[in-house]
Amino acid sequence: MSTIVLAERLARNPWLQPHRIGLLAVAAALVASAALFMRWDWIPNYYDLALAGIWRTIWILVVTCALGMMLAIPLGLAQAAGPWWLAMPANAFCTVIRGTPLLLQLWLLYYGLGSLFPQFPAIRNSELWPYLRQAWPYAVLALTMSFAAYEGEVMRGAFAGVPKGQLEAARAFGMRRSTVFRRIWLPQAIQRALPTLAGETVLQLKATPLVATITVVDIYSVASRVRQDTFIVYEPLLLLALIYLLITGVIIFLFRRLEARIPSRLG
Amino acid sequence: MKTFLKTIAAAAILAASASLASAQTIKVGFSPEAYPPFWSADASGKWTGWEVEIIEAICGEAKLTCELTPIPWDGLIPALTTKKIDAIMNSMSITDERMKTIDFSDKYYNTPTAVIGPKGESFTADPAGLKGKIIGVQVSTTHSAYVKKHFTEAAEIKEYQTQDEANQDLAAGRIDATQADAIALDAFLKTEQGMACCDLKGNVAEDLEILGPGVGAGLRKEDTELKGKINAAIKAIRDNGKFAEITKNYFDFDVYGD
Amino acid sequence: MPLMQVSTYELLAFEPPGWGGNLLRGLLNSVIIALGAYGFGLLIGIGGAYGKLYGGPILRDLLEVYTTIVRAVPELVLILILYFAGTDLINRLLEALGYARIDINGLVAGIWVLAVVQGAYSTEVLRGAILSIPQGQIEAARAYGMPPGLLLRRVTLPAMLPFAIPGLANLWLIATKDTALLAIVGFNELTQETRTAAGSTKAYFTFFMAAGVLYLALSLFSNVLIARIERWSRRGMPSVSGGPG
């Protein structure tokens, strides 16, 4: 490769425009001064805890998005094409979950239900009790419902948006209803919903720190603990913001890869 | 909208008068959570309790106008160092760890530390008794430091934003024990919910380094003048009987300790 | 059961010792913060959208950094950073310039913090809406010699409104729900009032349910208003049912 071609490539690189070089220099100076003048000596003490916290955050994110998506499909279908006795409860569920703050839902599930347990001694003797007494099932439940309600609304539009003619054509070919759903309707609806999925997943990531308020130890609660143990306020929060930025970056990257693999032509 | 404008106006006036009145008005930070008998809220939104009355007495004695400012518990020390508030009077124990960041007045009360647990189970408040149990504590307290030091090996530790939520989870059966100030736990055990679920398991072994010599007012290190005023006021209400007068409405013993 | 119903009624009574009045005061605070944050957020959004579309390269990059960070970092973390650092920085700046410290009360700080978050989303919504205006309309106005301020007021803002309203309506609903996050910094909005009431009475379930109903009522009421505004902003435009918006 000749040097001229290389120089041309460099000039076309969006990161190497003159003003960007200036901005990057300013950013580098900010990062350097933050590294030099702020306190980071606590990091080695919390390294293991932070890794466990990041793992917990990602675990909750992945599990609740997957479960939420599975719930969102029937919710969307019920609203788009279901009989009224299915459409109405599905619609009510989405409206209630979308109309109230997630923090409140989480506290209602965890502390509200928790306050009812002593009234029903049978619960404590049941086989579910070892799970019910932990915090993470409530976190997973609340976040799953939230994702299902928001994505269910998207799926409703996606199911309704698949052209009727295609479904009729499939029926005319003699496909059974279940086959039509599996082969034609669902794949196209998911394809239509896919562009919103990256955004919804990022929103879900942004909702995960709320679980720290019900004693689940995610990365946010590790940062809070650093603040509480050492009384250093800004440094853990800034590092925490950076960690979330990186996770968001990874999510966007993965969804771009996924979308690139799936042909985007709509019928 | 009216309240909003009023607040803006009030903020503007406060800002304008800050330089004039700063000598007399201080903001006292507290965490807006029920911590009876020291702090409880009534339905009109007013805070009452032993510590609230002691704050009033200290401020009256020191000729300070004290404005109670709600800040979450784990944000109190940052709020003090960033000058959002001027003092913390919220049952905060004087400890070496906190003294690295802030200063304290003399103590104004000191009580033992206890562990409570479900009725019907009997165990002691030491590592052997708590083996395999889940113990709940409030974050960023002397108790959380204590259980981390003494019980980490034996028990699983769960941290709550407020002691009230730890009590709640103890009643719900999600944790097996909680450690806190003996008086505060006693107040919980006297409630209907507390009577139904739990009882006292005992006081923990003393550890002066972590539990500290008692509760004082948290202050910024450079505010030595304010520290002098508050120390003098604490001594004055101890001497003139005001402290005892407030205390007898809540306790049948002297919470000042020895 | 009847006993429980009586006690629920007593707990939610408006006058003390009932806590209903506290919840309503909390709701009012939540609405005030949401309105303030939404309003200031819109102003930031209009400025941001204009900056992104017509600003210089440096301004555009800085705005991109702002919207990217706000949209990727959890609101809870942003609120903590802005709440602690924001007021501290303002005061340090004032002190450095030789002014007295100002007291930024919780309400103002809450509004300001949420407005910064809302501003980033508004910027994106409004930028998209301005791009959806047929460019000929703006060009025609320029050709008539309309000054930029008048152009914004007479052409750009009214023409983009129908495109912006669905996004802005969504933002309003997010604003009302995000006020709950201020409970984490101890502000007396609805969720915090609920938490205090629940902690004091131990009736966690009752109060969280009651607060849920209040939030839901606010959302549903907002939806009705939004539908009206949407109809009004689309007056004179062809019906959109069926066709692409």
Q: Provide the 3-class DSSP secondary structure of residue A264.
A: coil
Identify whether the C-beta of residue B87 lies closer than 8 Å to the C-beta of residue B219.
Answer: yes
Where residue B11 falls among pLDDT bands split at 50, 70, 90? low
Q: What is the CATH number of the domain that holds B173?
A: 3.40.190.10
Total CB pairs under 8 A between chain A and C: 115
Q: Which of B4, B18, B193 sits opposite C32 (nearest CB)?
A: B4
Cβ–Cβ pairs < 8 A, chains B and C: 85
At residue B41, the pLDDT reads: 87
**Rounded CA separation B154/B129 (Å):** 9
**What residues of A are in contact with residue B193 (Cβ under 8 Å)?**
118
A229–chain B Cβ distance below 8 A for any pair: yes
Helices (H), chain B: 2-21, 50-61, 76-81, 96-99, 142-150, 163-172, 182-189, 192-197, 208-211, 224-239, 242-248
Residue B181 and residue B205 in one domain: yes
Residues B127 and B190 in one domain: yes
Measured CA to CA in angstroms, residue B243 lies from A241, B49, B238 at distances of 47, 13, 5
- Give the total residue count for chain A: 267
B157 touches chain A (CB under 8 A): no
Chains adjacent to B (≥3 CB pairs closer than 8 angstroms): A, C
Question: Are C207 and C201 in contact, with CB atoms under 8 Å apart?
Answer: yes
This complex has an ipTM of 0.87
Residues in chain C, pLDDT under 70: 1-6, 238-245
Of C58, C194, C202, the CB nearest to A115: C202
Instruction: Say yes or no: B235 and B169 in one domain.
Output: no
Q: Which two tokens stand for residue A84?
A: 């009224």
Least confident piece of the model among B6-10, B54-58, B128-132, B164-168: B6-10
Residues in chain C: 245
The answer as to whether B147 is a domain residue is yes
- B7 pLDDT band, cuts 50/70/90, is low
| Average pLDDT over chain C, rounded to an integer | 87
From residue C236, give the alpha-carbon distance in Å to each of C159, C162, C164, C240, C245: 12, 11, 17, 12, 15
In angstroms, rounded to a whole number, what is the distance separating the alpha carbons of residues B241 and C155?
Answer: 75
Q: What residue type is B48 in one-letter code? A: T
Which chains neighbour C (Cβ–Cβ under 8 Å, 3 or more pairs)? A, B
Residue A234 in contact with partner chain C when CB distance is under 8 A: yes
Whether residue A75 contacts residue A155, with contact meaning beta carbons closer than 8 Å, is answered with yes
At B150, list the tokens: 């003494």
A160 contacts on C by Cβ (under 8 Å): none
φ, ψ dihedrals at B160, nearest 5°: -115, 155
Q: Name the residue among A112, A220, A244 with its Cβ closest to that of C204.
A: A112
**Closest to B88 in 3D by CA, of B163, B30, B140:** B30
Between these two residues, C84 and B154, which has the higher pLDDT value? Answer: B154
Closest-CA distance of chain B to residue A118, Å? 6
Of A111, A114, A231, the CB nearest to B77: A231
Asked if B217 and B202 sit in the same domain, the reply is no
Residues B102 and B183 in one domain: no
* Helix axes of C106-132 and C157-178: crossing angle, nearest 10 degrees: 140
| B13 assigned to some structural domain | no
Domain that holds residue B144: 113-211
**B193 touching chain A per CB within 8 A:** yes
d(CA A36, CA A217): 30
Q: What is the DSSP letter of B44?
A: T
**CA dist., res. A206 & res. C38, Å (int):** 20
Give the type of residue at B16.
Answer: A
B253 lies in some domain: no
Total domains, chain B: 2
**What residues have CB less than 8 Å from B9, skipping those under 6 apart?**
none
Q: Which chain B residues are Cβ-neighbours of A46 within 8 angstroms?
A: none
CA C194 – CA B26 distance, rounded (Å): 28
- What does the pLDDT profile of chain A (267 residues) look like in tens digits? 567 777 777 667 777 788 888 899 999 999 999 988 888 999 999 999 999 999 999 999 999 999 999 999 999 999 999 899 999 999 999 999 999 999 999 999 999 988 888 888 888 888 889 899 999 999 999 999 999 999 999 999 999 999 989 999 999 999 999 999 999 999 999 888 888 899 999 999 999 999 999 999 999 999 998 988 888 888 999 999 999 999 999 999 999 998 888 766 554
One-letter identity of residue B9: A
Residue B116, strand partner residues: B178, B200
Counting Cβ atoms within 10 Å, is residue C146 exposed (0-12), middle (13-18) or buried (19+)?
middle
Residue B168 to residue A225, Cβ atoms within 8 A:
no
- Angstrom distances, CA of residue B131 to CA of A125, A184, B125: 22, 58, 10
Domains of chain C: 2-13+20-233 (1.10.3720.10)
Q: Are residues B117 and B207 in the same domain?
A: yes
Is residue B17 very low, low, confident or very high in pLDDT (cuts 50, 70, 90)? Answer: very low
- State the pLDDT at residue A49: 93
Which chain A residues have a beta carbon less than 8 Å from that of B74? 224, 227-228
The answer to whether C31 faces chain B, any CB pair under 8 Å, is no
Residues B229 and B104 in one domain: yes
| Chain A residue nearest residue B157, CA to CA | A215
The band of B257, judged by pLDDT with boundaries at 50, 70 and 90, is confident
Chain A residues with CB-CB distance to B77 below 8 A: 231
Please state the three-class secondary structure of A111-130 as a single string. Answer: HHHHHHHHHCHHHHHCCCHH
Q: Is B130 found in the same domain as B80?
A: no
pLDDT of A1 reads: 53
Contact: C28, B45; criterion CB under 8 Å = no
From B189, B144, B187, B150, select the one nearest B162 (Cα to Cα): B144
Residue B65 and residue B98 in one domain: yes
Q: How far apart are CA B117 and CA B61, in angstroms?
A: 40
Superfamily of domain A41-261: MetI-like (1.10.3720.10)
Q: What is the Rg, in whole angstroms, of the alpha carbon atoms belonging to chain C?
A: 22
For every residue of B160-203, DSSP letters joined together read ESSHHHHHHHHHHTSSSEEEEEHHHHHHHHTSHHHHHHEEEEEE
Q: Is C114 on the interface with A (CB under 8 A)?
A: no
Whether residue C186 and residue B70 make contact (CB cut-off 8 A), yes or no, is yes
Pairwise CB contact (< 8 Å): A114 & B172: yes
